[in-house]
Amino acid sequence: MERTVDQKVIDIQLAPEQANAFILENDAFIRNCIRRFQNRSGASQSARQYVSDSEDHWAISLEAFHEAMQTYHYDKGSFYSFASMVIERRLIDHTRREARHLKEVPIDPYVFESNSEQEDAYPDQGMRSQVVRQLSVEPDESITLEIEAANQRFSDFGFSFFDLADSSPKAQKTKAACALAVNCILESPVLLQELKRNGQLPIKSLEKMSGVPRKIIERHRKYIIAATEIVGGDYPHLSQYMSFIKRGTSR
């Protein structure tokens, strides 16, 4: 029952005449994706409150949602997370094209965390913001490929690269604790093997070995797993945005 919507999308791929009805059912979801993007990319307050059917973002997002329906399959994780990612990519592409046309760089692109002031205080914390900003200014296929590879890997753990905003640490103290947990896993073959074998964070063992409170580990589970995979894996570009983790120590 947990993946009813995911299965519905798979079924619609075999019966495309049902696509329009499904799109209409998800009108609110599509508009919410647009609002989130506009809210974090410097759109006006009025634009954030109401999304007009006549605006470019609506047409682009509608097409992106349909694209997500056509290209989705189970190993991509939740359909809604995947659709949100596709919509975001298309809106970023559109913003980048507009920026080139106007010879301007997009301001304040989609941030990794919800609080931009905290990101300014701790620049290493905003990996997603920095990645998106870099791609907006100078498209880099190698970074894009790393994001796609990481996203594929994260799906094994039940989340995507673009789900990380909600689980990323905001406070400096919490961020340091997460770095401690990540380094503890990377330095422990037992913990690392357990994570990769079971597809789950060994919370009890990690709490005991790192000294990081269970509450923090559970709350930031996705972030800790993602950071472990990026820093310990073959992601040279993405790992640059997590230098804080690499500076951490488990001792």
Per-residue pLDDT reduced to its tens digit, 74-99: 888 899 999 999 998 888 887 777 65
Which residues does 32 contact at the CB level (< 8 Å), separation at least 6? none
Q: What is the pLDDT of residue 99?
A: 57
140: left (phi over 0), alpha (psi -120 to 50) or beta: beta
Number of CB atoms found within 10 A of residue 222's CB: 21
Q: How far is CA 16 from the centre of its chain?
A: 29
Q: For 131-188, how does the pLDDT look when each residue is reduced to its tens digit (9 = 90+)?
A: 555 544 444 567 777 877 888 888 888 888 777 767 788 888 998 999 999 999 999 9
Residue 101, pLDDT above cutoff 80: no
Residue 212 C-beta-side C-alpha neighbours within 13 Å:
30
46-67: b or e for each residue (b if 16 or more CB lie within 10 Å)? ebbeebeeeeebeebbbebbbe
